Structure 1
């Protein structure tokens, strides 16, 4: 039963990703990001003109982000399988997962506040809320990097039968960790490729994050299927 639940939970990541793009990008129109150099008045004007879209899109994005919780739980259980117990890797993955969803929720609540009554406040306050949102939303990359490093390590030390994480998965996570790192530079740069709307800080990490979530989901499903097959045919494990 646990493996069946893990299989269902493993789909949470890609479902969350798909819904998030629909609500956050297509409905709320928050991708592409507002420019860090945009004036306070232009930011306020955008939120006034798109107030309902932003609020509805964020409301559903908040719900969509929570679908990652069972996906994260499945990752933790798969890492635990590699270690054979609750060890450093699996516990670190738990802590990373604990921060993953709030890393979406808290920034989006800030933007929801900015869009709640933008026509009634000083545009500079709205600009400050917009700054907080994008700095948090794009800049909190450390926990994602740690999760990727955990999965990289787990892939390279995996000795389970059948295997939990293929070796190529470790290299993919290592590359994702490297590509995600520039997101942390948004605290420093107001413009250019390392600003929160820049190619290195936003667009490349966004594509890498999407590929990573899909790849993690596929590897989880493959691992669970292999373990289920081994349970049905114990001789496979013995061989």
Structure 2
């Protein structure tokens, strides 16, 4: 594969951040019902899934597609961080592994959501509520790895300013802020209502609406860095072109 073709693929994978956010936003905000109260009885929870069955199932499909884009973007982010990370590159490795866990684990959670919404009218309400609790709470319990990845990448970005392929300083600080916001999900197993319950503003909404902008901002910065690399490659090729044209032709003996 040529360097130009490789850069084109890298730009696409960086842009997968936009595709992930778009697909997930459609699934979560346009179709998917927001988290039900964890204070609901089993019958009320089952009724919630019956009433919103189609929304759950359509949302699962859109979000599952989004996980493929998220994984592709994560690998590309890891490649670009490794270029910045000197020495053993352990920081970039831990960062990308922590990030890659999210789409893998969330894919299993989405499957559980799909099972809960598959036939809630004929499944025992207790089973439906149990599946719902597992899916909602485990989907949020990726926060320690996500916070670690945001913080580590943020520190690495701030530390490597001034390099030709460095990501912007503001992105590093933004990652640190988003990492702190992830701690809002810490109490989800201890409370069933309030701002830090699984459906609360301090847990579900704070984390969701910081994670998405962080991925969008990071993807945008990645695309810009790769665009500069592509422009530099084109400039190098253009500068070499006259030399090739002016080179003397070989003369047959």
User: For residues 196-218 of structure 1, what are the alpha-carbon distances to aligned partners after superposition, in whole Å with 9 as ceiling and x for unaligned?
Assistant: 11111111111111211111111
Does the C-alpha gap of structure 1 residues 85 and 73 become closer, same or farther in structure 2, counting only changes over 3 Å?
A: farther
User: For residues 88-115 of structure 1, what are the alpha-carbon distances to aligned partners after superposition, in whole Å with 9 as ceiling and x for unaligned?
Assistant: 1221123123302023211111111111
Which residue of the partner structure matches residue 237 of structure 1? Answer: none
Answer yes or no: is 1:68 the counterpart of 2:66: no
User: For residues 179-228 of structure 1, what are the alpha-carbon distances to aligned partners after superposition, in whole Å with 9 as ceiling and x for unaligned?
Assistant: 11111221111111110111111111111112111111111111112222
Normalising by structure 1, what TM-score? Answer: 0.90
Which is higher, the Rg of structure 1 or of structure 2?
2
Work out the number of aligned pairs and report it. 232
Gaps of 5+ in 2: 237-253
Normalising by structure 2, what TM-score? Answer: 0.85
Which residue of the partner structure matches residue 39 of structure 1? Answer: 41
2:154 and 2:175 in contact (8 A); partners too:
yes
Which residue of the partner structure matches residue 3 of structure 1? Answer: 7
Gaps of 5+ in 1: 235-239
SS in 2 for 1:66: helix
Q: Displacement of 1:59 after TM fit? A: 2.4
- Cα distance in 2 between the residues matched to 1:108 and 1:225: 34
1:22 aligned to 26, 44, 53, which one? 26
2:137 aligned to 135, 138, 141, which one? 135
Which residue of the partner structure matches residue 121 of structure 2? Answer: 119
Which residue of the partner structure matches residue 149 of structure 2? Answer: 147
SS in 2 for 1:101: helix
- Cα distance in 1 between the residues matched to 2:235 and 2:86: 21
Q: Displacement of 1:160 after TM fit? A: 5.8
